[in-house]
Amino acid sequence: MDTVLQTRNLGKRFGRRWAVSGLDLLVRRGDVFGFLGPNGAGKSTTIRMLLSLIRPTTGAVELFGKPLPGNRSEILRRVGGLVEGADFYLYLSARRNLEIVAGLSGGVPRGEIDRVLDLAGLAGRSEDRVKTYSHGMKQRLGIAQALLGAPEFIVLDEPTTGLDPQGIKEVRDLIGRLSREEGMTVFLSSHLLHEIEQTASSMAIINRGTLVMQGRVSDILNQAEVGVRIEAEQPERAAEVVAALPYARAVMRENSVVSATLPRERLAEVNRLLVGLEIGVRAFVPKRSLEDYFLEITEGASDVAPRSRQRWRKES
Amino acid sequence: MPTLFRGEVVKTYFRWRSYIAFIAIAVVVPLVLIAMKLNTEAMARNVTRGLSQDFLFVGNILNGYFVTYLLMNALWIHVPFLLTLGAGDQLAGEATAGTFRILLTRPASRSRILAAKYLTTLLYTFTVVAFLVILSVGLGLLLFGGGVLLVPAKVLTIIPAGEAPWRMLLACLLATWGMWTVASLAFFFSSLVDNALGPILGTMAVIIVFYVIAGIPVDLFRAVRPYLFTTYLDIWQKALESPIPWGEALTSGAVLGATSVGLYALTWYVFVRKDILS
């Protein structure tokens, strides 16, 4: 499969703070690529670098095998983007807004504006000023402008933010359609794991500006370490035994419940070990959800000092 | 390029903020002219005071051309302010609205977008100045009629009635040329910040400070005068001298033009490198 996007050692420093560092991403043609991270993890900074809004401090962005910013115009002709919410010229109609955007792309075929307005379900309101639009409509218009000119690759930064459940479902369906029917490669950022789980085929997790992991969603779901809840008759002893295992992390005991993070393939082994030591195991429950895993690897995000956390928020 | 320019023109002229300048002029000009009309006698006496001993004035001195001259002379600090409302918003306004994100993620290069925006700024400046001159001359001719244009500047210049229209046109074009430098300054400041207020205040501060420096009769400041672009903003008055001092007009025009080009180059340098965080 050919590569649509590749970044190498991508980094951006604002003052003394690295918003993103050493980021290596790989997006293949046809992927719906989920870019997951908590608020302030550096998702938007990364996306802004992919779309040439900001200049990387280190590393390089390559799209369609060509380096940015050198081939900026040629590359961006094949890319559509929606960065951090859809802002438009509020005093102009949706159609005029799209005409201006189309002009920046060197013009689009006749009927293209109607096509994307229709896709976004805004055909009936196209002559109204964007000022009169609801948040959801603006968001849909944002996606519509990203689709203008039938790009091969679209980058959507938190496209479902602020939408109601119906709107979220519509956006997800649209992303699915674009991927399946139009063969578009989609780069989708989110701070919600279940959103990525439901829409993406591969994913990367970013935290504090660095890549935590990257791969196919199904692989990550299966390979990940698992949080396990163990109810034992001798909880102190059980906790000691588990804590002594080199691969066990985050071992804690609360009354008769021991919790630990273990590699998936070691679960049976740990269970056998406890039983073999004649520790009565009443329950051995793996928490399968990637959500816990995501929360766990990103929980450090709340450890940062209040001042820098504020700056993270602002940036995200 | 034409499509980019058209887009910028649509953005500028569909926004009501752009019409503040026109509205202000449309209010001030008739007010002043009507006030003059109500006091024609006193006005005429005022203008010719000190001269009436040496000259015998015959005919319509206080005419459409003359009141335009008076207005342009009086509004020379106010028009830049009105212009900065539009010019200062060109780049900073996009930052405030967050629309840089849809503007600069498109194939069109930042250099071309900047050029389209600058051309739009120049067009806007021209329309504001032209509106002032056309409204003033038109309404002036209607209220006071035409006649010989009397310019009581350093020397008293008398321009024949037949020559007055094209002299006014030339004055309008030269005034635009000068205001383009003011607009370029606001445009430059607009590239530095993410809100439109900064460029407006910055431009006005520079102009006022330059005027103050130029106005202080100290040798040091006098020596600085030739290097301040504000010194040359009276370029339009050259069109109303007889004969027209083409040499001086050319010098002033060259300094103003060079300042505009320099400011544009600076804006370009800032803008193509700017990280868009808005």
Give the separation between CA B238 and CA B249, rounded to whole angstroms.
Answer: 6
Residue A309 has a pLDDT of 35
Give the separation between CA A11 and CA A40, rounded to whole angstroms.
Answer: 15
Q: What's the average model confidence in pLDDT over A26-45? A: 93
Q: Minimal Cα–Cα distance from A46 to chain B, Å?
A: 12
Q: Which amino acid is at B26?
A: A
- CB-nearest to A53 from B3, B99, B276 is B276
Residue A295: inside a domain: no
Residue A125 has a pLDDT of 93
Residue B172 has a pLDDT of 95
Contacts of B272 in chain A (CB under 8 A): none
Residue A296: inside a domain: no
CB contact under 8 A, B98 and A90: no
Contacts of B101 in chain A (CB under 8 A): 53, 81, 83-84, 87
Give the separation between CA B58 and CA B43, rounded to whole angstroms.
Answer: 15
Q: Minimal Cα–Cα distance from B8 to chain A, Å?
A: 8
CB contact under 8 A, B3 and A106: yes
Residues A75 and A53 in one domain: yes
Give the pLDDT band (50/70/90) at residue A303.
very low
Residue count of chain B: 278
Residue A60: inside a domain: yes
Domain termination residue (choose one: A189, A220, A251): A220
Q: Per-residue DSSP letters for A86-107?
A: ----TTSBHHHHHHHHHHHTT-
Asked whether residue A314 carries a pLDDT value surpassing 60, the answer given is no
Give the separation between CA B211 and CA B213, rounded to whole angstroms.
Answer: 5
To the nearest whole number, what is the mean pLDDT of chain A? 86
Nearest to A261 by CA among A304, A229, A309: A229
Q: Which residue of B has its CA nearest to A49?
A: B275
Q: Which residue of B has its CA nearest to A141?
A: B102
The model carries a pTM of 0.84
- CB-nearest to B107 from A86, A89, A105 is A105
Residue A241: inside a domain: yes
Give the separation between CA B205 and CA B228, rounded to whole angstroms.
Answer: 14
Nearest to B43 by CA among B136, B150, B171, B117: B150
Domain termination residue (choose one: A220, A247, A275): A220
Residue A57: inside a domain: yes
Residues A241 and A257 in one domain: yes
CB-facing half-sphere around the CA of A107: CA atoms within 13 A: 7
Residue A308 has a pLDDT of 37
Residues A250 and A213 in one domain: no
| pLDDT tens digits, B195-225 | 889 999 999 999 999 989 988 888 888 888 8
Q: To the nearest 10°, report the CA torsion of B95, B101, B103, B109.
A: 100
Structure tokens at B25: 């002029």
Residue A116 has a pLDDT of 92
Q: Is A145 on the interface with B (CB under 8 A)?
A: yes
Give the pLDDT band (50/70/90) at residue A290.
low
Residue A282: inside a domain: yes
| pLDDT tens digits, B60-76 | 778 889 889 989 888 87
CB contact under 8 A, B4 and A52: no
Nearest to A87 by CA among A49, A130, A149, A43: A130
Contacts of B103 in chain A (CB under 8 A): 104
Give the separation between CA A88 and CA B102, rounded to whole angstroms.
Answer: 8
Residue A303: inside a domain: no
- Quote the domain boundaries for residue A101: 3-220
Residues A11 and A97 in one domain: yes
Percent of chain A surpassing pLDDT 70: 90
Contacts of B269 in chain A (CB under 8 A): none
Q: Minimal Cα–Cα distance from B103 to chain A, Å?
A: 7
- The CATH code of the domain that includes A126 is 3.40.50.300
Residues A186 and A74 in one domain: yes
Out of A211-225, A258-272, B122-136, which region has the weakest mean confidence (pLDDT)?
A211-225
Residues A214 and A229 in one domain: no
Alpha-carbon distances of A64 from A2, A94, A308, B19, B90, rounded to whole Å: 8, 31, 36, 45, 33
Residues A234 and A183 in one domain: no
Report the domain count for chain A: 2
Domain termination residue (choose one: A220, A243, A269): A220
ipTM over 0.85: no
- CB-nearest to B98 from A55, A79, A87 is A87
CB contact under 8 A, A87 and B102: yes
Residues A179 and A115 in one domain: yes
Q: Minimal Cα–Cα distance from B84 to chain A, Å?
A: 20
CB A36 within 8 A of CB A59: no
Residues A163 and A233 in one domain: no
CB contact under 8 A, A87 and B277: no
Give the pLDDT band (50/70/90) at residue A263.
confident
Give the pLDDT band (50/70/90) at residue A312.
very low
CB contact under 8 A, B106 and A105: yes
CB-facing half-sphere around the CA of B147: CA atoms within 13 A: 18
Residue A316: inside a domain: no
Residues A248 and A113 in one domain: no
- The CATH code of the domain that includes A242 is 3.30.70.980
Cis peptide before A69, with omega less than 30 degrees from 0?
Answer: yes
Contacts of B109 in chain A (CB under 8 A): 72-73
Give the separation between CA A117 and CA A121, rounded to whole angstroms.
Answer: 6
Percent of residues in chain A assigned helix, strand, coil, to nearest 5:
40, 30, 30
Give the separation between CA A31 and CA A6, rounded to whole angstroms.
Answer: 13
Contacts of B4 in chain A (CB under 8 A): 103-104
Residues A190 and A53 in one domain: yes
Low-confidence stretches of chain B (pLDDT beneath 50): none
CB contact under 8 A, A145 and B102: yes
Residues A24 and A52 in one domain: yes
